[in-house]
């Protein structure tokens, strides 16, 4: 989502004459768009700001040029004035729900006397109603934010506090933005939301649409070839969305559906409001309509109070599901969240041991899944040149990165390849069409 937000900030600054640069030393404005989901996010931001102070000083002393420094995103939201107190060389602090005001904030900066501007409100207006049109040019695969914020309040998570309450963009604005992206060459759209499958909106005839219905509508756009969505919550996997997986060929057979833990006790302490059996039931329903669907999840190990038995339940669940990929982390306290005040914190070395066993299992599953793709033929979307000369990088329907020799003219197109070798994190292939 931060990639999407950064692009939209770029769109909103374009009318002021700003465009994306490649050399930090020559920048007139530097925007750090921050994420607060992991531990030490704030420290990392302050350390980066220390580096940028020197860039700013050099431009002022050697070129008499003022470089504006902006801190955006969820660390900006969480830290607010603390940022300009500790790093007074920062000019603007703007939250994830107010970045549409960035051009106004830039205009309000005093050109002579240094002033700081902080805007971390949760404004009454929807930023999407005030952002300029998406300028497109995002490449073959683009993000489209449809939903933001979260009302679920998992006890470990800062998102409800930094991104605010759930809201959904209107059907019309989403379809318009999709058209803009497609007309500038995008072939694959990933619908984004902190709880993307909680998205809902009114369709053209006034009836309520859910994400499944939106996917059906997007699939009718002839130039759009692939649709994905992330990140979803098990509680919002409704029948229409599951049937979209059965009926919409353009919806890729890959789903990131986080469960976090396989223990019902821990799921309850996490306030996930579903059990491991509920989750497995959803997986069964998905697999019954789309047998080849590849699954991915997030896991947190060492949540406060997690016992060896709870952790064993997580391993058992992973064994049952068989993931194509996954993200796993040690629990880290996020200030202000309910879990941070629980006193049953798991010792660091126990967390590390558990994470390493869990990742061993997940890595083995990922490699086994990649191995099943050897000799298979796929239509892949060619996204970019690979680091190795003459090679291209594409994504399979199952989100695997695939590398093969081919001409650059294929970038942005769908190519047919045959997988020659599976690796842990990618595939090698030969082009056949
Ligand atoms: S559903 Fe996701 S975004 Fe919302 S609180 Fe839980 S982990 Fe955070």
Helix (H) or strand (E) holding 317: helix 308-321
Q: Is the pLDDT of residue 136 over 70?
A: no
Q: Give the pLDDT confidence of 201-231 residue by residue, as tens digits.
A: 998 888 999 999 999 999 999 999 999 999 9
For residue 233, the ligand 1 atom closest to its alpha carbon is: 1
- Site to substitute for ligand 1 among 36, 160, 340, most atoms within 8 A of C-beta: 160
Contact assessment for residue 170 and residue 138, using Cβ atoms and an 8 Å cutoff:
no
Poorest-confidence range of 103-107, 128-132, 347-351? 128-132
Q: Give the pLDDT confidence of 39-66 residue by residue, as tens digits.
A: 778 889 999 999 999 999 999 999 999 9
pTM: 0.91
For residue 231, the ligand 1 atom closest to its alpha carbon is: 2
Domains 2-119 and 127-372 alike in fold: no
> Chain centroid to CA 25: how far?
29
Task: Sketch the domain layout of the chain as residue ranges.
Answer: 2-119, 127-372, 377-431
Q: Give the pLDDT confidence of 71-108 residue by residue, as tens digits.
A: 999 999 988 999 999 999 999 999 999 999 999 999 99
Please give all residues whose beta carbon lies within 6 A of any atom in ligand 1, as ranges: 150, 152-154, 157, 159-160, 194-195, 233
In CATH, the number for domain 2-119 is 3.40.50
- Site to substitute for ligand 1 among 1, 232, 233, most atoms within 8 A of C-beta: 233
Q: Is the pLDDT of residue 386 over 90?
A: yes
Query: What's the Rg (C-alpha) of the chain?
Result: 23
Q: Give the pLDDT confidence of 355-370 residue by residue, as tens digits.
A: 999 999 999 999 999 9
The CATH fold of domain 377-431:
OB fold (Dihydrolipoamide Acetyltransferase, E2P) (2.40.50)
144 CB neighbour count, 10 Å cutoff? 23
Contacts of 70 (CB under 8 A, 6+ apart): 29, 30, 31, 32, 90, 91, 92, 93, 94, 102
In CATH, the number for domain 127-372 is 3.80.30.20
Query: E strands, 342-433, where?
Result: 377-385, 391-395, 401-405, 414-422, 426-431
Helix (H) or strand (E) holding 210: strand 208-210
């Amino acid at each position: 989502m931060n990639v999407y937000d950064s692009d939209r900030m770029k769109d909103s600054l374009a009318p002021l004459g700003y465009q994306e640069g490649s050399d930090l030393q020559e920048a007139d404005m530097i925007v750090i768009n921050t994420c607060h989901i992991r531990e030490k996010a704030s420290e990392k931001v302050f350390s980066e700001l220390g580096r940028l102070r020197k860039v700013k000083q050099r431009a002022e002393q050697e070129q008499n040029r003022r470089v504006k420094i902006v801190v955006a995103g969820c660390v900006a939201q969480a830290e607010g004035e603390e940022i300009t107190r500790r790093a007074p060389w920062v000019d603007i602090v703007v939250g994830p729900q107010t970045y549409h005001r960035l051009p106004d904030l830039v205009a309000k900066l005093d050109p002579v006397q240094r002033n700081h501007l902080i805007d971390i409100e949760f404004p009454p207006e929807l930023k999407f109603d005030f952002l300029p049109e998406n300028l497109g040019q995002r490449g073959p695969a683009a993000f489209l934010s449809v939903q933001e914020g979260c009302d679920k309040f998992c006890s470990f998570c800062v998102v409800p506090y930094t991104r605010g309450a759930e809201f959904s963009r209107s059907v019309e604005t989403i379809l318009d933005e999709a058209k803009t992206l497609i007309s500038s060459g995008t072939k694959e759209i990933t619908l984004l939301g902190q709880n993307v499958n909680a998205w809902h909106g009114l369709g053209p005839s006034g009836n309520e649409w859910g994400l499944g219905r939106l996917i059906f509508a997007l699939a009718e756009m002839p130039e759009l070839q692939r649709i994905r969505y992330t990140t979803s919550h098990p509680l919002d996997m409704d029948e229409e969305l599951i049937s979209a997986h059965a009926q919409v060929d353009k919806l890729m057979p890959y789903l990131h559906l986080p469960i976090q833990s396989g223990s019902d006790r821990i799921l309850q302490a996490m306030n996930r409001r579903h059990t491991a059996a509920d989750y497995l039931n959803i997986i069964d329903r998905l697999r019954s309509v789309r047998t080849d669907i590849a699954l991915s999840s997030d896991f947190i190990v060492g949540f406060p109070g997690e016992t060896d038995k709870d952790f064993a339940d997580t391993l058992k669940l992973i064994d049952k599901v068989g993931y194509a990929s996954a993200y796993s982390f040690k629990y880290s306290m996020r200030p202000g969240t309910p879990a941070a005040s629980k006193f049953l914190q798991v010792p660091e070395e126990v967390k590390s041991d558990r994470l390493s066993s869990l990742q061993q299992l997940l890595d083995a599953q990922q490699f086994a899944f990649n191995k099943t793709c050897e000799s298979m033929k796929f239509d892949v979307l060619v996204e970019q040149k690979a680091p190795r000369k003459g090679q291209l990088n594409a994504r399979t329907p199952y989100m695997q990165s695939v590398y093969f020799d081919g001409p650059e003219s294929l970038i942005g197109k769908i190519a047919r390849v045959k997988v020659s070798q599976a690796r842990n994190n990618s595939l090698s292939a030969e082009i056949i069409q």
